[in-house]
Chain A
Amino acid sequence: MKKISKNLIYLFYLILFGILIVVSYNSSKRKPDSVSELYTDFSWLINWPKWLDTPFMHWINKGWRGFIADYGLIFDAIGYGLLRGYTELKNVIVQAPWPIVILAVIGITYVISGRKLGTTIFVGFCTFFIGFLNPRFWDKAIETTTMVVIGIVICVIIGIPIGIAMSRSERVRNIILPILDTMQVIPAFCYLIPGIILFGLGAIPAIISIFIYACPPLIRLTDLGIRLVDKEIIEAAESFGASKKQKLWGVQIPLALPNIMQGINQCTMMALAMVVIASMIGTRGLGDEVLLGLQQLNVGAALEAGLAIVLLAIVLDRMTQAYGEKIQERTQPQNKKN
């Protein structure tokens, strides 16, 4: 049984290969006048034959145009919704007096880190120093943070359920894994360009890019975290008659939470990296300053902005890490022994 299905797959590959060769030969502009030339002149065996040129580009462009015409409106709607949320949130923070913003950051850190004074002071200092570097940076840092935060929220909303689905079904994992690989490996510019076409310039394509770039680690770590939960603990839950839902929410997710938090942390860091790249498609924020310094060959300006991004990264990293550690202590309280 198994052997037959495997052979069928090989046959399918062979047929696909054949079709591709025929199609690329036929569509090529530089194919030889007649097929018989291939039997007399064997030079195509030495250099890559010019007539072997699969017209992927044409296919994609054609499909893309059709796609935009049919579904462009949907993306407009998504883009508009996101833009609205982004602008509102950004305006609120930008218009708030800066001491209050810093105090809010300090307050949030204090609470989510489980009242760790050291972390709180460090984070407060870094936040203050971002504005201290250059007066322009304060508002820009807020723009960047807003983008990152919205990006992460989208990642969490979409990524964690996907991670859970992957952990529960081998088949789903086999389908999702290559997609994640593609998302992580494909160069950012390849999806920045279609992003512009779909959502226009500015913050929205940046947020979408953040999702594509930063979501995979979160999905992977969610999946891993749930699968790493001790099998005996799962069996224990099952043996008491826990339903799938009770098992998931009562046991698997709480025990996977430290890993999921690590995923969110990774997600944050990658989102920040993406925001800088996204400045190339007109996204404002701190990345914009880096780009400006680069274009003017102004080393100082670029480094200054770079430093601000590092500080922002430290702030976000400390905050998510501290929260993750707090959760870890709650689920695995080894340190508090007696």
Chain B
Amino acid sequence: MRLILEKRADRSPFFAIASPFLALLLTLIAGGLIFVMRGINPLEGLYVYFVEPLTQLWSVEQLIVKAAPLVLIGVGLAVCYMANVWNIGAEGQLTMGAIAGGISPVMFPDWQDPSILVVMLIMGAMGGALYGAIPGLLKTRFNANEILTSLMLVYVAALFLDWLVRGPWRDPQGFNFPVTKTFAGWQLLPTLGGTIHLGALFALLACVALAFVMGKTLVGFEIKVTGSAPRAGRFAGFSRNRMVMLCFLLSGALAGLAGICEVASVVGKLQPQISPGYGFAAIIVAFLGRLNPLGVLFAGLLLALSYIGGEAAQVTLGISDKIAKVFQGILLFFILSCDTLILYRIKLEMGRVGALKAAE
């Protein structure tokens, strides 16, 4: 018995829409199996993980709070991947954004008026963009593989932050904990109600703006052509190098913005650990959202649910919240598998006799 792929004449419009949902369904089934293996009733497990968080107001708030950085980063990555530019170092750009944005509150703790918030946000986005520009520059100048360089820079950024908060930026009154002074007043993002902060609004705006850019402008068209038909792009006079830099600057800026928004709200200070892997989870967000800015919005909410469900499962079911990362990995696997159905028909072939019959 063999699996045979048969190319469709056209992209299947049905599966283009259905494949993320199919992937989600398969992930739920796989998740149920994991619960069974851990001796938990699968239906109860899935309910606690994926449904219960949506029934309470505070956890829906948490969902939006966690979705904000995922969407901000994911929408930038979606544009990158659309252009065939593989930025996988968003976690590092997030860290650098948090550091750059954190300069003013750490250096001037008494600076208390709205201007500091604006400065923090701009510096954060710039920090991320400049850090993202490094792999972009190395790619365009020296042809160095951007996947590897951007990832290496994640480790460098994490170690740099670690040094800062343990060394020069450590709060002298912090009982020797590796943290900076806690941000206060105008150094924190205003909330929009409950715990939801301005970051959620930024995420929403970024999605709408990028949906417009990708769908209605020449730059968006250039990005898509460079990604899907590089030869055609060259003939049209589009500069591949310009696109690479643009994508890295854009996705870096958004990741940096997400970084400063995190430390200026949920975390409230700089410390060695500022993100539970948002930069990597955002890769899944980009793919689950079909690299479409509006799709990313929903995908970000779903990935946020996977974080919150993990916490809920830990509390209610006594199962490690590490299961969240497993669900995220499985989900990406199924998304990529199901996307095959858009371009191909999958057939099971029984032995050689079947193959001969099919050929007749």
Q: Do A and B come from one complex?
A: no
- Residue ranges of A at the interface with B (Cβ–Cβ < 8 Å): none
- Residue ranges of B at the interface with A (Cβ–Cβ < 8 Å): none
